[in-house]
Structure formats: C-alpha cells, structure tokens
Structure 1
Amino acid sequence: MKVSYHGHSVVRIETNNRTILIDPFISGNEACDLDANTVKADVILLTHGHNDHVGDTIEIAKRCNALVVAPNELAVYLGFKGLNTHPMHIGGAHEFEFGKVKFTQAFHGSSYTEEDNSIIYTGMPGGILFTSEGKTVYHVGDTGLFSDLRLIGEMNNIDVAFIPIGDNFTMGPEDALVAADWIKAKTVVPVHYNTFPVIEQDPVAFVGRVKTGEGRVMDIGEVMEL
C-alpha cells in the first residue's frame, strides 16, 4: 500500500490496483499539488460535508466513474447529484474489493454550502479507518479531542494516523499530542494546518513532541509505503 499527502486533509491511497482519494479538496487549495481535471480516482472516501473536504468530489467522481463512500446523509445528497455512492454511518464497517472501511466518531459539524449560499445538512461527521493488505490507515477527520480515541487505539493496530492540528476548527497541537498518544499509531502525520491564516501551525514542532510512534511531516506529494 502507498499513501501520499496532498495538503489540508487530502490523502491518496494506492492499493489492490485501486486509487483512493480521501477528502479531495483540490481546487482553491493552494497547498495541493493535484489537478482536479486530471487526477484519477477509483474510490473517494469523505469524512464529512464541509466544502473544504468534499472539494472536487462531484467533478472527479463523474469523470472517473468513482465510487463515493460517505456518511449516509452526505452520500444521499451526492447521489442526488448523479454520483455512485455507498452510504455508511458511525461505527459501521464494510468490506469492499479494495479494502475495509469503518467510520468512527468525530466531534465537528457537517454541511455543504451551495453556490447560492444555501446550506445543506449532511449528517454526522466521522473519521475513517481504512484497512488493506494487512495495513490500517486512520484518517481522524476534523474533530476535537475526545476520550474514545483511546478506545479506537486499543481496538485497532494502526500503522499511520492523519491527525488535524490546525486549531480553531479542530484540535490544536496540544490536544493532537494527546490524541496521538491514545491512538498509538506507528506513524503520526499532522494535517489540516496552514491552508488558511486562522489554522497556521508549526508541524515540525508538533512531530518533535510526539511520544507514541514516529511523528512525520509529509511534504506535499510525498509517498509513504506501508
């Protein structure tokens, strides 16, 4: 399995001859190195409905005929847009041909803002545990600190965890350090920082303080092989 980071919360996974995008916020994301018009995806996994996470999902999924896996209300909404979707919900898991997806809790919001500024409620936000080829990736999603992260760490052998550190909308570095300790991933990668001025953080300082597992700042486009 190959895992790469592409700015904000965008993660790409290559496994079982499939390309999987998580939260493909590409257009309008100056940190992202991907091109929404050419990027390939067989599957798109979404943690929640905010525009900086749904991103270019509709355009990419239509062009690539990609399967979109998302929390139920968000999946239903995207289905109305003509996408091929698989709805799931918190605590639920499903074994796909490309790997196993399980949604975990996340304490955040979830809504999609249309071009006319109307706001569509898109259900519960979540984190995603993805398992394939004997490896588990945990995309924690946008969330504040909550104690069940310890339970998630105890119940799963997590190889790499993508943890938000930006603050204001999610955990900041101090809470993310606690989360990293509880999750007990072999590798901890900070995400959801420096995209906007209000979430500016020092990822190098954060990973230097990670005590459980290896803290690692991934450069944009950098590939990690698990």
Structure 2
Amino acid sequence: HDHGDHLGNATDIMKGNNRVKLIAVFEIANHVAEQLGDSSRVIDANIGGPIDLGNGFFAVLTHALHSSLHGHPTGVIVGAGDEVVYHAGDTGLTYDMKLIGELYKPLVALLPIGGHYTMGPREAAKAVELINPKYVIPMHYATFPVIKGKPEDFVKHINELSLKAKVIVLKPGEEVELR
C-alpha cells in the first residue's frame, strides 16, 4: 500500500538504482511509473494473479485488510520451488491465510503484530496457526505510540496455541539466513 511508512521513498531508491524493479497493485504501479517517467521497471499486477519473475521465481499479491490511497493494500508471496516467503503486509487477520498456507506452504511468514492498525500479537498467533510456516518473523511493532504489540506477547500466544513455528525477532536492518 502507499502509506508513507511502506511505499515511502521507493521511487527515490529506484531513481538511484536502475536494476531495481517494483511489483505493486495496478494503481500503485501506475503511480510510481508516472513519478519515475519509466513504466519498464514497474510490474503491475492484481491480487491473486501469479507473476512469473523468471528463473523459476514467482510472486503473488495477496489480500490485506488495511487502507491505501491508490488501489487495494496487499501482502506478497515470493518464492521458487519449495522456498516460499509470505510477507503479509499491514493487515488484520483473515481466513485467506489458511488458503495461503495450504496452497503455497510458506517456509517463512512475516506478520504484523503491533495492533491498532494491524493484527495484534494474539491475532498474529492465530495467523501462524492458519499459515503453518516453519519460521515466523514479527514486524510492524514499536513504530508509533498507538502500536503497542510486543514480540514477547506474540511468543506467549504462539506457545499457548502449541504451535511449532520458530519465532525470529529481528532488529531493524538485521538479516537472517533460513533453510
């Protein structure tokens, strides 16, 4: 979606690096292409349509329960073979997550846990139950005063549901390699 904390400075990044492409819902893709003056580096798509990225990689935009100035907010599934990542984007809990788990079997799920504008820790734990990833990375917390969800609360709810997913809490800019 095109809130400042997400689309942010994507256009500036793209202007500074000609190799960067953007996959986005149709309306946002057109908006960014207009700002760039170049539509060749923008892949417009819509929710549910598989996108062939070449070399065995694919992406699928997913439904997200949120808001956006241009077009519908989305999450994204990206993968190749059985290595699939689901980035839920800013969203509330939705039963679509069960279908994502069944159809794409994500190895990793990145889920918002902050509450107020997105799922909170309890709802995100339920999302983990629906998706059934091997790893889950909580995100979108501790960013604004009203966003109060905490990773330790998320872990507590994961444990209450006896889920097997390993929770990986990252600091901003931190990386992890998973297999």
Shared fold by TM > 0.5? yes
1:100 aligns with 2:100: no
Amino acid at match of 2:102: E
Count of residues in correspondence between the two structures = 169
Q: Distance in 2 between matches of 1:192 and 1:186?
A: 20
Cα pair 2:105 2:131 within 8 Å, conserved: no
The TM-score with structure 2 as length reference comes to 0.88
Q: Distance in 2 between matches of 1:224 and 1:153?
A: 21
Q: Which runs of 4+ in 1 moved over 4 A?
A: none
2:45 corresponds, among 72, 83, 88, to 88
Q: Distance in 2 between matches of 1:209 and 1:190?
A: 13
Give the deviation of 1:133 after TM superposition.
5.8
Post-superposition Cα deviations, 1:112-166, rounded to whole Å, max 9, x if no partner, equal xxxxxxxxxx101111000036410000011111112112111121110000011
1:60 — aligned with what? 13
Cα pair 1:208 1:215 within 8 Å, conserved: no
2:4 — aligned with what? 51
- Write the mapping of 1:11-30 to structure 2, written as runs, cut at 5 A: none
1:129 corresponds, among 54, 63, 77, to 77
Q: Distance in 1 between matches of 2:83 and 2:127?
A: 20
**3-state secondary structure, aligned to 1:206:** helix
Q: Distance in 2 between matches of 1:165 and 1:212?
A: 18
Q: Distance in 1 between matches of 2:145 and 2:175?
A: 23
Identity %: 37
Amino acid at match of 1:141: G
1:192 corresponds, among 104, 121, 140, to 140
- CA RMSD after TM alignment: 1.5
Q: Distance in 2 between matches of 1:166 and 1:225?
A: 24
**3-state secondary structure, aligned to 1:128:** strand
Decide which moves more: 206-215 or 83-92: 206-215
The TM-score with structure 1 as length reference comes to 0.71
Give the direction of change, closer, same or farther, for the CA distance of 1:90–1:144 in structure 2 (3 Å limit): same
Q: Which has the higher contact order (CA 8 A, sep 6+)?
A: 1
Give the deviation of 1:204 after TM superposition.
2.4
Amino acid at match of 1:126: T
Post-superposition Cα deviations, 1:32-51, rounded to whole Å, max 9, x if no partner, equal xxxxxxxxxxxxxxxx1111
Gaps of 5+ in 1: 1-47, 112-121
Q: Which has the higher strand share?
A: 1
Q: Distance in 2 between matches of 1:207 and 1:187?
A: 12
Cα pair 1:204 1:217 within 8 Å, conserved: no
Give the direction of change, closer, same or farther, for the CA distance of 1:184–1:195 in structure 2 (3 Å limit): same
